[in-house]
Amino acid sequence: MKGNTVRSESDFITNLPNNIIDNILGCLPLRDVVRTSILSREWRYKWTSCPDIVFDFWFDQMFLGGHKLEPLIYQILKLHKGPLLKFALQVPDLKSNPDIDQWVRLLPNNTLQDLTLHVSRGETHNLTSHLFTFQHFRNLKLYNCVFDPIPGFKGFNKLVNLELQRVALCARNLREDLVEHGAPEKLPVSLNMLKTLHLSDMYFEKIEETSCAICFIRSCPNLQRLKITAFTFDVVDSVADFLRSQRSSESLTQLKTVKMQLFSGIEAEMEFVKYLLASATALEEMTITPTPVALPMEESRY
């Protein structure tokens, strides 16, 4: 076979075009990526253009050993050169601390498409305003952070997936005409690209949380799939009243499927479903899965 004879047979992999090497590096765990630096002199800095940097549970548990994570994240981000597309920080026991902002400031706001920040312990983390300068986010996942946009924030207009868990939506700089229930009627920017939204652990007994959910849903005119995992214990009448008072939204015309999980059937949840049914004119499928009933309760009646 004579194909690809231009390249020498030996050490084929070193001679691959850089974009292919970057693709390969992007599919390797971070430790293996850094380890390529020792293969040969030509490989010394190849890893620094790896498009993905992921510090995950696996990395923390398997590879870190006795080494400290913080200086390592800093060192890797300082050395990185190529266009970084993805940065994920989801190690166990990550506490809110100023280092996180320092790392975020090292991320390139003109290339990064995918950001995951999972602050798993301690206080809700106040994110650096640098976050709002990123122009290319397609996937954004934040856990236990405060989302407080800077004045003049125009939105992430390429966003396709947004996942917020235990995130405080700060209305201070969003709009002035809103704050009756803790969230604006709509976000000041519409999340045009967003097609899938998953609201998990949703407390239907908290009016702030319910109003945030409605605010988000209204701000996604092209939303197609909505999933809500409820997490409700108490019945709070004011939440049902609040939901009843909401006008149906005209911006849900693309919504096709709704999944509601761990549904307990309280009035607030029922009102929420009514709200969706009234608003989503193109809805094709709604699946409601109830909270599993605890059987012993049933037996104790006899």
Partner 1 sequence: MVTTDEKGPLTAKKKSVIIRSCDGDEFLVSESAAVLSTSLKKILEEKEDRLIHLSDIDNKTLAMVIAYLSTHADDGLSDDLKRSFDQEFVSGKEFDVLKYLVLATDTLQVTCLCYTVAKKMADIMKNKLVEWVRREFDIQNDYTPEAEAEIRRLDAWAWDDRQLEDD
Of 40, 238, 248, 289, the one binding partner 1 by CB under 8 A: 40
The one among 48, 49, 51, 65 contacting partner 1 by CB under 8 A = 65
Q: Which pair of tokens denotes residue 278?
A: 């009234």
Least distance to partner 1, CB of residue 73, Å: 11
The DSSP result for 208-228, as a single string, is: HHHHHHHHHHHT-TT--EEEE
**Which pairs with CB-CB distance under 8 Å and at least 24 residues apart come from 14-21?**
14/39, 14/40, 14/42, 14/43, 18/46, 18/49, 21/46
Cα–Cα distance for residue pair 28/283, rounded to 1 Å? 40
Which residue, 62 or 278, is less far from partner 1 as judged by CB? 62
Task: Examine residue 61 and tell whether it contacts partner 1 (CB under 8 A).
Answer: no
| For partner 1, the closer CB: 28 or 286 | 28
Q: Which long-range contacts (CB under 8 A, 24 or more apart) does 68-71 make?
A: 70/99
Nearest partner of 158 among 193, 186, 127, 128, judged by Cα:
193
146 binds partner 1 (CB under 8 A): no
Instruction: Output 25 or 127, the one with its CB closest to partner 1.
Output: 25
Check residue 78 for interaction with partner 1 (CB under 8 A): no
Residue among 32 and 234 whose Cβ is closer to partner 1: 32
Q: Mark the segment that binds partner 1 (CB under 8 A) among 21-29, 119-127, 236-244, 279-287.
A: 21-29
Report if residue 70 touches partner 1, rule: CB under 8 A.
Answer: no
Is residue 48 close enough to count as binding partner 1 by CB under 8 A? no
Total binding residues for partner 1 by CB under 8 A? 40
Binding site for partner 1 (CB under 8 A): 1-4, 6, 10-14, 16-17, 19-20, 23-29, 31-32, 34-44, 62-65, 67, 72
